[in-house]
Structure 1
Amino acid sequence: MRINTENAPAALGPYSQAIKKDNLCFVSMQLGLNPSTGEIVSREAKEQTRQAIKNVEAILKKCELSLKDVVKATLYITDLNDFAAVNEVYAEYFANKPARSLVVQAAMPKDAKVALDVIATRGDDLTDELDYRER
């Protein structure tokens, strides 16, 4: 099922804000855009990170999920010097510490410095720690 909410920026191309399949929600890359204006909220990496996370959160809410349900996140930044600032804001929102990748890339749409996409799922079974040594 395609997910669309007015509480997050409209897609900038031919894709959905998210796709929900069974218990999974795949959220497309979100920039630090103001949902009302479609413009970058600030030139500061911290503020872009905060807004990108809020956009992801709004989309997850439409999927009846929250940031606590995120199992995989991918952060995109254009300047590795912003990593500490981005990481600081990220840690405020993701206390559950999902798996995460970081991509440093040359450029993003709207000259953004930061973007985020996530995969979230419903269910408590993925929060249990597994010890494969016992198998």
Structure 2
Amino acid sequence: IGPYNQAILSNGTLYISGQIPINPKSGVLVSGDIKLETKQSMENLKAILTEAEMTFEHVVKSSIFLSDMNQFTEVNEVYATYFNAETAPARETVEVANLPKFVNVEISMIAVK
């Protein structure tokens, strides 16, 4: 979408750029259902972690950007399925005025091996 890398690995730390709900194989934007949008964003993050030989257990920090904080509960329901409650990363969720391609959710992460 822009002039940046999907992720950078530096000294064992993986910095993953914000992922929006685009299917990487088809290039089609997933929209219309915040749960499906969140799942696609998380699957994009999972693919990047896997490529770096990491899992969600390696994630130490997550940032979620929402176009509507009223979707917070639904996003959390999907997000929680990817983490163990005891080892879930630090996180903030921020409502923003707009996101790339007018999506409803964008998620970035930092993982350490």
TM-score by length of 2: 0.94
Structure 2 residue matching 1:42: 3-state secondary structure = coil
2:6 counterpart of 1:26:
no
Aligned counterpart, 1:5: none
Structure 1 residue matching 2:61: 3-state secondary structure = strand
Which of 11, 36, 59 lines up with 1:70 in the alignment? Answer: 59
Aligned counterpart, 1:83: 72
Aligned counterpart, 2:93: 102
2:56 maps to a residue whose letter is: L
Instruction: Give the percent of matched residue pairs that are identical in Structure 1 and Structure 2.
Output: 41
Inter-partner Cα distance in structure 1 for 2:67 and 2:109: 18
TM-score by length of 1: 0.79
Greater Rg by CA? 1
Aligned counterpart, 1:111: 102
> How well do the aligned residues superpose, as a CA RMSD in angstroms?
0.9
Following superposition, which runs of at least 4 residues in structure 1 exceed 6 angstroms of deviation? none
What CA deviation, in whole Å up to 9, does each residue of 1:72-112 have, x standing for no partner? 00011000110000011011112231000111101111111
Question: Where in structure 1 are there 5+ consecutive unaligned residues?
Answer: 1-11, 123-135
Query: How many equivalent residue pairs?
Result: 111
